[in-house]
Every structure is written in C-alpha cells, then in structure tokens.
Amino acid sequence: MLRYVGGRLLLLLITLWLISTMTFVLMHSIPGDPFTSEKKLPEQTLKALKAKYNLDKPLPQQYLLYIKNLATGDLGISIKTPNRTVNEMLEDGFPVSARLGLQAIVIASLAGIVMGMIAAVRQNRPADMILMFIAVLGISIPSFVLGPLLQKYFGLKWELFPLAQWGDGFWGEFKFTVLPSIALAFTPLALVTRLMRSSMLDVLGNDYIRTAQAKGLPPLRVLTRHTLRNAIIPVVTIMGPLVVGILTGSFVIEKIFSIPGIGKYFVESISTRDFSVIMGVTIFYSGLLILMNFFVDLVYGLIDPRIKLGEKEAG
Amino acid sequence: MAVLEVHGLHVSFDTYNGEVKAVRGVNFSLDKGETLAIVGESGSGKSVTAQSIVRLIPSPPGRIKAGEILFDGKDLTQVDKKEMYHIRGSEIGMIFQDPMTSLNPTMTVGKQIMEGLIWHQSYGKVQALQRAVEMLRIVGIPNPEKRVYQYPHQYSGGMRQRAMIAIALACNPRILIADEPTTALDVTIQAQILDLMKDLQEKTETSIILITHDLGVVAEMAQRVAVMYGGTIVETGGVEDIFHRSRHPYTWGLMKSLPRMDQKQEDELESIPGSPPDLLSPPQGCPFADRCPYAMQICHEEMPEQTKVSDSHQVFCWLEHPAAPKVNDLKVNILSK
C-alpha cells in the first residue's frame, strides 16, 4: 500500500512536469507577448520590462529558469498586476473558490444520490418522471442562465438572500454562499442523479438482491445494506473529475455573483497573456485534478473489496 | 403430514403484449423431510411456481391470480407483507442457480449469513458470528474462522454455493427451495453439493423443493417428482413411478432425450420436436398436444382430467381415458431401446 502511494505520488510529479512543459511550449507558440497592446510602448521601456521578467533570454534558458523556480514552489510574479506574486493570488483566491466548490459538491453528491435512489426505486412512476425532468433541466440549463434567474427571484424579488457579497476567504458568511452554490451545483447534481438512477437499476436487477429478499429482509434494509454500496461505485468514479469541473466551472458563477475567487485569474490571464499566471493556475489545477483522481482511487478500494490497490491477488 | 400444500395456483405476468399465464392451476403438497423435484424445460413455469411460494415474483408485472398456498395452516397468498418477511428466510429458505452472482460482492460471507439471524432471530453480533462460523463448518468450508471474514470473490464457485446453502439454512427453515442449485457448477462439484444437501436434510428433516431440468439430479435427490409443462403439472408421482412407469407422452420424451450409456457416438440425441406453447394465449386443450405423437382430436380441445394411476402417481392425459387407444407397446419400445 505504501509502495502504491509512493508510486502514485512520483507519477504525479512526472505528470505535473509534463503539463508544465507543454503549457510552456504552447503558451510561447501563441503570437504576441504580455506587452503586446494597442498602445505601443517605447523601445527602451519594452526592453527593460522584458529583461525584468527574463523574457529577453532565449526560450530554453527561460524554460530552465522557470522549472527551477517551480521546483522550489515559486510560481513567479504576475506580469499584468505587478507587485503580486502568483502564489499570493492563489492563496487569496483559492479558499474562496474552494468554499464555493465544496458546498456545491456536497449538495450535488448528497442530493444527487438520494434523488437517484428515489427515481430508481420508483422507476416509471410519477416521482421518477419528476426527478428525471429536473435532471434534464439541470443538464440543459447553463449556469449563466440559472445564476441570474436565482439572483432575480431569490435576491431581488423575494429578498431571501443578499447579492454580490462575500465574506472573508474560506470563512465567508453562509448566506452569501447559498445562491452561488446552488447555481454551481445544479448541473453536477443532474449528472449524479442520472448516474445513480441507472446504477441503482443495474444493481437492483442483480441476483444477490433476490438473495437478500429471499432472506426475508424488508425493502429498506435491502436498499441500504445491499444496493447502496454497490450502486455508488460509478458515482465515486466521476467524483474526481466532477470536483475539478466544479472548481474550474466556478469562473462563470464567480463572475455573475462577484465572488473574489480564483476563476477570474484563470480566464483573464489568457487574454492578457500573463505568462506566469497562466502557468501557475494551470499547474495548480492539474495538481488538484491528479490528487482528486488519486483520492477517488483510494476511496474505491474502501468501497469495493474486490479492488485491491497495488497488491497482487494471491492464488 | 404435509408441510406445504399448493392448490390451484395461477400466476400471470402483465406485459405490453398481454397477460402471460405462466402458471395455470398447479397443485402439489410437500411432506416433512421429503424432497419434491419439479422438472420441466425452460419456460414451463417451475421457477415461477417456486418463487410464488415465497412471493418473490417481481410485482408488478407478476401477480398471483388465484389459488392458495397453505403453510402451517396459513395461506401465504393472503398473509400481509410483514408476516411474509418473517416467513421468508426463517421458515422457507432459498438457494439459486448461479452462486457467482447470488452473493453480494461487497459484503463478507459471514455478514451475509449473520444478517438473517440478526433480523429473524434477534441474535447479537457475537452470537450470530459464532453461528455463521458453525454454519460454514457444517456446509464443509475449511477454515471457517478465517473464511467468515472473506468476501465472495475469495471463494470458488462450489464454495459459494456452499455459502449460499449456509445462508439459506442458517435460521433452520422447514422448507428449502433450491432453484436449479447445481446447473451452474462443474459435474464433480454438482455431486458434492447434492451430497451435502442430502446429508443436511437427513440431519435437520428439512423438506426440499428441488427445481431442475436435470433428470440425473432428480434420480439422485428426490422422493417425488412433478413434471411441469406449459404452466401445468402433467404428471406427478414417486421417483420410481416417473422413471419406470411414466404414463405421460411428455415424460417419455424427457426420458428419451437423456443420453444413454449404451448409445453409439454417431447417434444423435433424441429430442422432442416443436417448441413449448405460447403462454400469452395458452392452448385450450392439453399444452403438449401440438408436440405429442399420440395427440387425438380431444387433446386439442379439452384439458385432460386427472387420472389416478396409484395413490402416489397421477397423470393428466387423454390416453388414460378408457376409450383411448392403448400405446403400451410403444412405451415398452422406448424403455428397451
């Protein structure tokens, strides 16, 4: 097990290195640089600026410098917002995005699992149809439509929740986070519901469910003890990508609800060619995705005894 | 004394195409300590009959249309759900065809045995665990103290069927329904499982309803046999009656289709031409009439009545009618072939 974890962590480093190299190459193959703008800068200033950010050196040398800094955990200074290091930007923005994302994930997974279960047990009956209708809505309504709608009704018309406010970092006040969390959770919720429903139906058709019924267990016990654990495996599988999807997808929501998260750097840095921010955010999110997948694999082994991580089956 | 009596059982499934009448008037009884084999080809209604006894047919679409199932003087078609949960598993145990898929892959075998004990007999955890170990030992699993904590994927096929038997018998049920318990197993393992079931039956005096299409298994296990065809029982009797003195053309056909020791390799196996009746619109008369070499006019028009050959042996066939031509010569012919 320890060997397995060690191996996976090593793999994580290698993957991160590959991603950073690729991002570096791709970034520098886009025409233009951070200082390309409508207003032409004087030759001298441009030169000085480029020298400041090491952009005047040949590419291989820039690359080596960057990797060296990266190895020490230094993501560099933002080019467009001077005096701010990328590390600082991540430190400020990530807790906000993480809070929002976590809440959304909790809503999406818990409600999704319960809704999927109900839909499966009541297959082809009214409850199932209503839930599946909601799920189709969730998949087809983009968050930039749902967000403003929530704001209009829950914020402005009924004044249930405050709008466009956020507390302090991760510990912002709960009431500010409700609407954005719901808006962010809606699509993943629909995905989880549908997946859970089909997975449940699949499990319910299995012979061992009939065995459990033949034992005389009442339906609820069959459901909780024999169905849930087997049905949840596919949901756990998509959890890793889903978490990262929610974190990155929060950009739109952050913009709509004016939340000071990490999402805005993610998009703005690309249009302004802020090299160090692009690199920093990309590497940060890649690392997160890899860690999440790793975590999911570990949970997998806990749920399904047939999956033994890093061990060879004896016999 | 009969532990279980089934009278005039009718079971139907409502499908988009209409009502499939899977079981159409089945009668039988089961004595204490006795093994009754229900034989028939796929779709003859034997599994549906067995599952109806414990009300395990998926409903909807399935429903018990008529008839009574008397167990302990109670009609199982009428008792409420809660009572049924307590009869299932504790009074009537069940084992199924495929041991590879009939055990929950994410629960230890021990827990799966303990579950019934805790639920039905309010055992404590420690007590239930002891009983689970004991059950595994009884069904012949080596190292039960260790095996009880293992998952089904760590068991072999034969061991899983043994574990299934342990689950079914943990609460000491009075009836064990075995739905093709050896069909999915290797021949050598089949024999072991059958021996085990016989052995346990002698010790516990459990009655067994054995559902199978394997006549070899029937000869090995059963005292009485009911031959099912097209949702009805066409012949029922003791093992001797069915194997040596059978009176129904369908039973003859089944016997003929068995491979024989003295058969030459080039010879093809005998089969019954045609296919079973469509139970969406079951025939008016004898279900076997379309495939029966001796079918007469009346066979297609009216259901044959029961003829008592002896106290234990009954047959439903128009050939038994005094006015029908005799086919005795033919039967001799089949058996001596």
Residue A212 contacts B where some CB pair is shorter than 8 Å: yes
Residue A52 contacts B where some CB pair is shorter than 8 Å: no
* φ and ψ at residue A186, rounded to 5 degrees: -60, -50
Of the residues B132, B149, B172, the one at which a domain ends = B172
3-class state of residue B63 by DSSP:
strand
Q: Is residue B109 part of a domain?
A: yes
Contacts of B85 in chain A (CB under 8 A): 216-218
3-class state of residue B281 by DSSP:
coil
d(CA B313, CA B317): 13
Residue A215 contacts B where some CB pair is shorter than 8 Å: yes
Q: Is residue A278 part of a domain?
A: no
Q: Is the pTM of this model over 0.80?
A: no
* Tens digits of residue pLDDT in A65-80: 888 888 888 888 887 7
Q: Is residue A234 part of a domain?
A: yes
pLDDT in the model for residue B104: 92
- DSSP letter, residue B326: P
Residue among A286, A262, A271, A283 at smallest CA distance from A66:
A283
Chain B: residue whose CA lies nearest to A304: B106
* CATH number of the domain where residue A182 is located: 1.10.3720.10
* Tens digits of residue pLDDT in B13-41: 888 888 888 888 888 889 888 999 999 88
Banded model confidence at residue B177, pLDDT cuts 50, 70, 90: very high
Contacts of A303 in chain B (CB under 8 A): 106
Chain B: residue whose CA lies nearest to A225: B107
Q: Is residue B320 part of a domain?
A: yes
| Long-range pairs, B72-81, Cβ under 8 A, ≥24 | B72/B3
Helix (H), strand (E) at residue B2: strand B2-15
Q: Is residue B207 part of a domain?
A: no
Cα–Cα distances in Å, from B285 out to A127, B160, B195, B250, B295? Answer: 45, 43, 40, 15, 11
3-class state of residue A244 by DSSP:
helix
Note down the domain range covering B284: 246-261+268-336
Bridge partners for B2 per DSSP: B31
| Structural domain count of chain B | 2
Of the residues B172, B188, B219, the one at which a domain ends = B172
Please provide the average confidence, as pLDDT, over all residues in chain A: 84
B313 close to B236: Cβ distance less than 8 angstroms: yes
d(CA B211, CA B208): 9
Find out whether the peptide bond into A42 is cis, omega within 30 degrees of 0.
no
Asked whether this complex has an ipTM greater than 0.95, the answer is no
∠ CA(B3), CA(B7), CA(B13), 5° rounding? 115
**Residue A310 pLDDT exceeds 80:** no
Residue among B43, B167, B190 at smallest CA distance from A208:
B167
Banded model confidence at residue B230, pLDDT cuts 50, 70, 90: confident
Residue among A195, A192, A198, A221 at smallest CA distance from A209:
A221
Q: What is the mean pLDDT of residues B90-116?
A: 90
Of the residues B172, B196, B223, the one at which a domain ends = B172
B108 close to B149: Cβ distance less than 8 angstroms: yes
B90 close to B44: Cβ distance less than 8 angstroms: no
3-class SS letters over A111-173: HHHHHHHHHHHCCCCHHHHHHHHHHHHHHHCCHHHHHHHHHHHHHHHCCCCCCCCCCCHHHCC
Judge: A214–B89 Cβ closer than 8 Å, yes or no. Answer: yes
- DSSP letter, residue B289: G
| Structural domain count of chain A | 1
Nearest CA to CA, how far is A66 from chain B (Å)?
48
Bridge partners for B308 per DSSP: B314
Q: Is residue A69 part of a domain?
A: no
Banded model confidence at residue A309, pLDDT cuts 50, 70, 90: low
Residue A153 contacts B where some CB pair is shorter than 8 Å: no
Q: Is residue B295 part of a domain?
A: yes
d(CA A60, CA A67): 11
**Residue A195 pLDDT exceeds 90:** yes
Chain B: residue whose CA lies nearest to A302: B106
3-class state of residue B11 by DSSP:
strand
Q: Is residue B154 part of a domain?
A: yes
Q: Best of A215, A224, A233, A302 to disrupt the B interface by mutation (most B CBs within 10 Å)? A: A215
The neighbour count for residue A247, using CB atoms within 10 Å, is 26
Chain A: residue whose CA lies nearest to B112: A212
Helix (H), strand (E) at residue B238: strand B232-238
Note down the domain range covering A143: 86-271
Q: Is residue A108 part of a domain?
A: yes
Nearest CA to CA, how far is A198 from chain B (Å)?
19
User: What b/e readout covers A190-210, taking b as 16+ CB neighbours within 10 angstroms?
Assistant: bbbbbbbbebbeebbebbbbb
Q: Is residue A61 part of a domain?
A: no
pLDDT in the model for residue A313: 43
Helices within chain A (DSSP H only): 2-29, 43-52, 59-71, 86-121, 126-140, 143-150, 174-204, 207-214, 219-221, 228-231, 233-256, 263-271, 275-303
Q: Is residue A39 part of a domain?
A: no
Indicate the residue of A211, A218, A225 with minimum beta-carbon distance to B96. A211
d(CA B251, CA B273): 14
Banded model confidence at residue A242, pLDDT cuts 50, 70, 90: confident
Strands B207-212 and B175-179: parallel
Q: Is the dihedral of CA A289, A291, A292, A298 positive or negative?
A: positive
B79 close to B70: Cβ distance less than 8 angstroms: no
Q: Is residue A241 part of a domain?
A: yes
d(CA A100, CA A107): 11
Banded model confidence at residue A314, pLDDT cuts 50, 70, 90: very low
pLDDT in the model for residue A129: 94
Q: Is residue B65 part of a domain?
A: no
